[in-house]
Structure 1
Amino acid sequence: MPNESCSRRSFLGLENCHVFVSGASGAIGGEAVREFLDQGCRVTAFDSRPLQLSGIDAERFSRLQLVNGDLFDEASVIAGFSNAQERFGPPNILVVNSFTEDLATGCPIWELTLDEWKKSYQNDAQSSFLAIKHFLRSVRENQQHSGAELSNLAIVVTETETGNGKAGLHYGLLDRVREEVRQLNSEGRINAVAPDVMDDEQGPAPVDVARTMAFLASKRAAGHISGQRIRVEKSNQDSTVNTRQVAKAVSKTDTRESIPRSLSKPKRNKIRVAVSIDLDAVSGWLGTNSHPDNVLADYSAGFFAARVGVPRLLRMLKKLDLSERCTWFIPGHSAESFPEEVKQVVASGCEVGLHGYAHEGAYQLTPEQERDVLVRCMEIAQNLTGKKPVGYRAPLYQLRESTLDLLEEFGFEYDASLTDHDCHPFFAPRRPPLQPIDFSKPASTWMHPVKESPTLPDRRPLVCVPCNYYMEDMTPMQFLPHTENSQGYVDVRVIENLWRDRFLWIRDNEEEPVFPVLMHPDTSGMAHVIGMLERTLSWLKDWEREGEVEFLQTGEIARWWKNKMLSKETS
């Protein structure tokens, strides 16, 4: 993406600038990320630890890139700047916020070991040096390529790089970079922000430090300041002050006032989230995943799903207050093979839907077998819950016209296996089976469109709540040895970002959509996956606190949509 000039729509004029924040997962680093997003910047957040930000709306999230990397490893820092440029173009602003624990605090120098001294001082200097070095190298290369200077070029370093002489900034680095950055860019500047901490007192709030960073990064507000160390004192004053007060305070190297944010009004668009869990366990290896080469180790994964994955997911859902607002689709084989675990599921207060008996696909069965399986599973579910099941999800989404016929016959309210739409329910379709083309016959025999029933276009009131492979965990994150489309060796953050991107686009472009999230205890119960699911669901709960998300059982969503559509028809 080419670099764009910073616009001048706000006090700081930082809109569209690209900010690279090192050490983004710390308290100050996280607030710096939030502040620059609020100022309209594109932000690359770089750290070895995950960044946790809540309440970031879709527009801001689209301008944020999270890059995992080691602050003290040169190759990792180089890769970080490469990733940053690939997504947002060359950075205009560098925020250096990397630091390690100060092992020297309270310890006289004659008692320090050399390793402790190196860890407290040398490593910090190294991380700062690497960030500044490769930021300026990026600036040089991009300016040489474009033939023009980058706009609003600024470096802001935090107290952890200046206090106590850690990064050597008091001993020449600040002055050196101040002179050298001007050789690269006539507007280039470097400044340091130093949170002031009095004895027995905490320093200023991270948000105030972050807003001072934004002020110093702005050419419009602080283009005349370079090579300075700005002290930020703890303040009890209201942070919403006018910009003249801020400028006056900074000119006196006292930034106890803060920068006013340019907040946009969030979009209020109710999104109904359908969290569901398919408890396949061993049944997953018997029907759709049946293979002559399946071995005991494969079936062992099914035991893990029931006896380890189920309790883990139940604890996670309870922690997030989602136990009663989700749906478990349980094969009859799982219910009968793992009764204790399934009783725990039912006791959580969730909705229970059907999912075949042995995870068999409809095309593996005769119509008579399909009927027998459905009747048996209805009996199992009713004995478990005391209620007639009203929801169904086909194993591996393999259902056919006869499946929908049976769901209609037995009065089911919804199916969750099709994707005529990806974020809106729809009435179950009534279509003849699609016929494969016989290319041995004349083209005139198979050149015809899809035919739908002219009298009954759908199967209302039977509702389809959308779901498919892109909304689930297993296909990308579980290795199934004999299933062609399984992967397994995928960084969970790939799926986390995929789901977030889906949510944010749907939020901005669809009215009253649904957002299905499908888990399997086999997959989401694994130690390296469940943390990602908890992060994702917690992120969605942040939107719930904003009034834009509601977690509902799948049946509740189906009934809401059906009533809405039928009421429109009668009005």
Structure 2
Amino acid sequence: MTEQQPWQWDEATWRGHVERVRAGRSLRPASWPGGARAAVALSFDSDHETIPLRDGETRPGKLAQGEYGARVGVPRVLRLLERHGVPASFFMPAVSALLHPGEVRDYVAAGHEVAMHGWIHERNMTLDPADERELALRAADTLERLSGTRPAGIRTPSWDFSDHTLAITRELGLSYDSSLMADDEPYELLADGEPTGIVEIPVEWIRDDAPYLMMERYGSLRPYTPPRQVAGIWRDEFDAAYAEGGLFQLTLHPHIIGHRSRMVALSELLDHIGGHDGVWYATHAQIADHVRENA
């Protein structure tokens, strides 16, 4: 039997796809802690060597690019966060954590959150459900063992979200996800129209360093936008969130943002944010806890 094309689907079919994972009630809180005007949630995806490993690329060149994130990028990021007194969430593939266990301890010692980001930055939409589940369970156990705390949340690798990701997230008992893009503000995830209790802390490619700054030697990816212009986009995003009394969430990667000129731009962004009164800096787990209780 020939598979139907989307234009041949009946309403139950296309509606079922749309409703499988959907944005529910807004969790924008009535107020932020301490009467803050806005919230800022910085995050770093510590992918390191896992992206080339995921693709079966085992030669030193690609692996060295990832190693830069752990060797140079992370220490710079941690120094910058300490200087500004800002907590952050580090989403870490379990293989990255196993390669760099001291880094996990450094995150914890500095008061940052360690959260899930897959096993080896796998593409979960290409996996069988059983494999996706097994890797997620294994990753959660690994991060708990290395950090001393069970992860509270997940960011799926590459923000991929399969038909089974939400069910696995619920089975793990996670309090939040940060992979989807249905709002600027936190919201509750629905599964086939039913509330799940899981907080979505939405991401967006606009607020991610990778689309602007990645370089692929044999592909079309080129860092066309200068770092200060990228920071200017993020500054405008923050300013709008501040004016609305909402959340400014940012996704960064140590192997991308961790270079000198880019860290200068990030530092200037944090200087700009720090020049505003009434900003609550929080980890993603803290955001999820607060909005669940105060929406």
Partner of 1:316: 80
Gaps of 5+ in 2: 1-34
From 228, 241, 252, the equivalent of 1:519 is: 252
- What is the correspondence of 1:442-481 to structure 2 with a 5 Å cutoff? 453=193, 456=194, 458-459=195-196, 461-481=197-217
Q: CA deviation at 1:429?
A: 3.1
- For 1:506, the equivalent position in structure 2 comes to 241
Partner Cα distance (1:362, 1:481) in 2: 25
Instruction: State the TM-score, normalized to the length of structure 1.
Output: 0.44
Q: CA RMSD in A?
A: 1.9
Q: CA deviation at 1:482?
A: 5.8
Identity %: 28
Find the aligned partners of 1:515 and 1:482 in 2 and give their Cα distance. Answer: 34
- What SS does structure 1 have at the residue aligned with 2:164? helix
Structure 1 counterpart of 2:234, one-letter code: W
Match of 1:428 among 189, 209, 231: 189
User: 1:277 and 2:44 equivalent?
Assistant: yes
> Secondary structure of the equivalent of 1:487?
coil
Q: Which residue of 2 aligns with 1:399?
A: 161
Using the alignment, how far apart are the partners of 1:291 and 1:472 within structure 2? 25
Q: Structure 2 vs 1, CA of residues 420 and 482 (structure 1 numbering), >3 Å: closer, same or farther?
A: farther
> Quick one: distance in 2 between partners of 1:420 and 1:483?
30
**Which protein, 1 or 2, shows the higher relative CO under an 8 Å CA cutoff with sep ≥ 6?**
2
Residues 154-175 of structure 1, C-alpha deviations (whole Å, 9 max, x = no match) = xxxxxxxxxxxxxxxxxxxxxx
Query: In 2 relative to 1, CA 483–383 (structure 1 residues): closer, same or farther, beyond 3 Å?
Result: farther
Task: For residue 281 of structure 1, report the CA deviation from its aligned partner.
Answer: 0.1
Q: Is the 8 A contact 2:73 2:258 kept in 1?
A: yes
Computing the radius of gyration from Cα coordinates, the structure with the larger value is 1
TM-score w.r.t. length of structure 2: 0.83
Distance 1:341 1:291 in 2: 24
Equivalent pair of 2:189/2:198 in contact (CA under 8 Å): yes
Q: How much has 1:489 moved relative to structure 2?
A: 3.6
- Mapped to 2, the partners of 1:491 and 1:514 lie a distance apart of 25
The number of residue pairs the alignment matches comes to 261
Structure 2 contact 231–269 (Cα < 8 Å) conserved: yes
- Secondary structure of 1:357's match? coil
Q: Secondary structure at the match of 1:427?
A: strand
Match of 2:129 in 1: 367
Query: 1:382, 1:482 → 2: CA distance?
Result: 38
1:490 counterpart SS class = coil
Q: CA deviation at 1:319?
A: 1.1
Match for 1:491 among 201, 223, 226? Answer: 226
Q: Does 1:531 align with 2:264?
A: yes
Letter in 2 for 1:361: R
- Paired amino acid for 2:129: P
Shift of 1:406: 0.8
- Flag structure 1 segments of 5+ consecutive residues without an equivalent: 1-267, 432-452, 566-571
- 1:124-180 per-residue CA deviation (whole Å, 9 max, x = no partner) reads xxxxxxxxxxxxxxxxxxxxxxxxxxxxxxxxxxxxxxxxxxxxxxxxxxxxxxxxx
Contact 1:361 1:399 in 2 (8 A): no
For residues 366 and 483 of structure 1, the distance between their equivalents in structure 2, rounded to whole angstroms, comes to 29
Give the AA of the match of 2:251. L
CA distance in 2, matches of 1:483, 1:466: 28
Question: Secondary structure of the residue that 2:179 maps to in structure 1?
Answer: coil
